[in-house]
Amino acid sequence: TISRALIAARLSDGHWEGHLSSSALATATAVTAVAAASRAGTVVADSDALVEGGIRWLIDTRNCDGGWGDTPDSVSNISTTALVWAALAFGAGEESEVAAASAEAWIARAAGSARPETLAAALGDRYGKDRTFSVPILTMCAIAGRLGPPEQAWRLIPQLPFELAIFPRRVFG
């Protein structure tokens, strides 16, 4: 039975050990954070190598349809593809440009256009009233310059009521 299999999978000291999958979502977020901090003058040890390595991994794990899913085994989705598109803005060279164009084309197919307003609306539609995902994704796109000039980009990001972030979803959902 499943119970016996789970019990048998425990380590000798009685607990289970798991391993997280690699994540395009997490890698894109880390690349953008390190690159933006470095460009702002914050000292990040080995920032260039970290950014280059993260971008290399993102390029190597692109799905056949030109987008990215949450993990290398996941289907492409608009959220992760937008995050990767943002991260690729910090890359250098033709491969980064090709991958960024691939992300932009995937977003255009999924949202109807890769125009900033269209992407913001598509992410808003994807998450509805729950802005705890759409706002950070759009913020990363703005930081990377993917939503146009700053005065335009920041207007596309709805306010996030941070004080509500501590409440369980059922309270405000």
pLDDT in tens, 90-126: 998 999 999 999 999 999 999 999 999 999 999 999 9
**Mean pLDDT over the full length of the chain:** 90
Q: How many CB atoms lie within 10 A of CB 130?
A: 12
Q: pLDDT: is 43 or 126 the higher one?
A: 126
pLDDT at residue 76 tops 70? yes
Query: Which pTM does this prediction carry?
Result: 0.82
Q: Which of 111, 173, 95 is CA-nearest to residue 147?
A: 111
Confidence of residue 39 (pLDDT cuts 50, 70, 90): confident
d(CA 173, CA 171): 6
Contacts with 75 (C-beta within 8 Å, 6 or more apart), sequence order: 63, 69
Q: Which of 38-42, 50-54, 77-81, 169-173 has the lowest mean pLDDT?
A: 169-173
Q: Which of 2-6, 80-84, 166-170 has the lowest mean pLDDT?
A: 166-170
Alpha carbon distances (Å) from 95 to 25, 39, 57, 99: 19, 21, 12, 6
